Amino acid sequence: MRKTTTKLADGRELIYYDRDESQLREAPDRRPLEPTVSLAEIRRDPVSGDWITVAAHRQGRTYHPPADQCPLCPSHGEHLSEIPAADYDVVVFENRFPSLAVDSASLVGSIEDDPMHLLRPGVGRCEVVCFTADHGASFADLDESKVGLVLEAWTDRTAELGAVPGVEQVFCFENRGAEIGVTLAHPHGQIYAFPFVTPRTAKMIASADEHRARTGRNLFEDLVAAELADPVRVVLTSEHWTAFVPFAARWPYEVHLYPNRRVADLTELTEAERAEFPRLYLELLRRFDRLFGEGAAPTPYIAAWHQAPGRGGAELALHLELFSIRRTVGKLKFLAGVESGMDAFVNDVSPEAAAHRLREVAT
């Protein structure tokens, strides 16, 4: 792999990841851009204890541009995009409209001595990951070599962002489909470097710590072992990875993919585990696209990597959650009253039926 780091016209960092180690990426950004300004701040909800990000400057971000004006396609002719090169394998760059930024300046200023109104500048980092230069492709269209390169990019960014002062958690994810809320059709994902441990992660850590105190064992190791012992919800297995629908799945179609050996984050995967990941992940994505029959629209999904935060997450295990909000042909799972109001999920598809369907659509 060759990694080339450069700067965009407004000073944001851009990184090319190429399979060809001899590849040179020297094209300059020819756009007349002003430096970006982030006014993000994080505010603590005194009732739940959660940190909420307020980033009002994002209202002006790019929204569903036509394909010939896509900011994630390579630059060509008079079309000058976020990627100056005429082609690329995988590219990562700082988001021009970030929810969090290293130089965020709070509008109000920190109110550290007021527990009812505790806020801090939204210091962190938000990056965009472009998986391919092909605007009409999807992640499932990539070959295994390209997926391996994306995994290398995720791993590299996890290591670098995790070392940034003030960053407590690195989150790599992909939103796919307008139904999910995607505003740019080009195949891409994002990486957030949070200045706090996210609420979902904090809950998982608390459950894992309680399980260790009660049993002396690791929760996630026991979880994978239990699913393998009763494989009715297992979708795929291999030497190094296991994919299953969780017993208490929240979403109509939801799969968790775990390394069989517990690791904290992407940087701890072995070469053998990395080599096997692309085949399994591509198979899962392609099965998701076959769930609703031939001719159905591409399945909208979220793919989210859970990694241990920089501190306090020793019991957490790296895993990927892949889920769709589509529950059947032409129908979506909306987060209505009980989900949005009470965070109490109601699933319309039994996990066992979902696992059976995902096995049924295997090639």
Segment 40-93, tens digit of pLDDT? 999 999 999 999 999 988 887 888 999 999 999 999 999 999 999 999 999 999
Out of 153, 181, 196, a domain closes at 196
pLDDT > 80? residue 111: no
User: What's residue 112's pLDDT?
Assistant: 62
One domain, residues 188 and 54: yes
Assess whether 182 and 210 both reside in one domain. no
pLDDT in tens, 139-171: 999 999 999 999 999 999 999 999 999 999 999
> In terms of domains, do 247 and 311 share one?
yes
Contacting residues for 209 by C-beta, under 8 A, at least 6 apart: 315
Residues 11 and 73 in one domain: yes
The answer to whether the beta carbons of residues 76 and 86 sit under 8 Å apart is yes
What confidence category does residue 108 fall into, taking pLDDT thresholds of 50, 70 and 90? low
Where residue 102 falls among pLDDT bands split at 50, 70, 90?
A: confident
pLDDT at 109 over 60: no
- Looking at the fold, whether 332 and 218 belong to one and the same domain comes out as yes
Across the chain, what does the average pLDDT equal?
Answer: 95
Rounded mean pLDDT of 104-121? 72
Same-domain status, 108 and 138: yes
The 3-class SS string of 57-124 reads HHHHCCCCCCHHHCCCCECECCECCCECCCCCCEEEEECCCCCCCCCCCCCCCCCCCCCCCCEEECCC
Within this chain, do residues 248 and 328 fall inside the same structural domain, yes or no? Answer: yes
Q: Which domain holds residue 334?
A: 200-360
Domain count, the chain: 2
In this predicted model, which residue has the larger pLDDT, 103 or 293? Answer: 293
Radius of gyration of the chain (CA): 21
Interval 173-187: pLDDT, tens: 999 999 999 999 999
Indicate if the pLDDT at residue 106 is higher than 70.
Answer: no
Q: Which residue has the higher pLDDT, 38 or 315?
A: 315
Q: Which residues pair with 119 in a beta bridge?
A: 43
Question: Would you place residue 99 in the very low, low, confident or very high pLDDT band (cuts 50, 70, 90)?
Answer: very high
- Can you tell me the mean pLDDT for 210-226? 98
- Quote the Cα angle for 106-9-2, to 5°: 105
Mean pLDDT of 116-122: 90
188 is catalytic: yes
**Residues 84 and 30 sit within 8 Å (Cβ to Cβ):** yes
**Residue 218 in tokens:** 């690791």
Task: Using the 3D structure, point to which of 165, 196, 227 is the last residue of a domain.
Answer: 196
- Please state the rounded mean pLDDT for residues 342-348: 96
Q: Do 171 and 255 lie in a common domain?
A: no
Judgement on whether residues 213 and 225 belong to the same structural domain of the protein: yes
Catalytic pick from 57, 79, 186, 188?
A: 188
Query: Which pLDDT belongs to residue 264?
Result: 98
| In a shared domain, residues 186 and 204 | no
The domain that contains 351 carries what CATH number?
3.30.428.10
Q: What is the pLDDT of residue 62?
A: 87
Average pLDDT over residues 334-340: 94
Tell me the per-residue pLDDT of 285-336, one tens digit each, with 9 for 90 and over.
999 999 999 888 999 999 999 999 988 899 999 999 999 999 999 999 999 9
- Beta pairing class for 188-194 and 125-130: antiparallel
Query: Whole-model pTM above 0.75?
Result: yes
Query: Would you say the C-alpha torsion 212, 306, 292, 240 has a positive or negative sign?
Result: negative
Whether 268 and 216 share a structural domain: yes
pLDDT of the residue at 247? 98
Q: 68 and 179 share a domain?
A: yes
Q: Which of 144, 170, 196 is the last residue of a domain?
A: 196
Query: What mean pLDDT do residues 209-230 have?
Result: 98
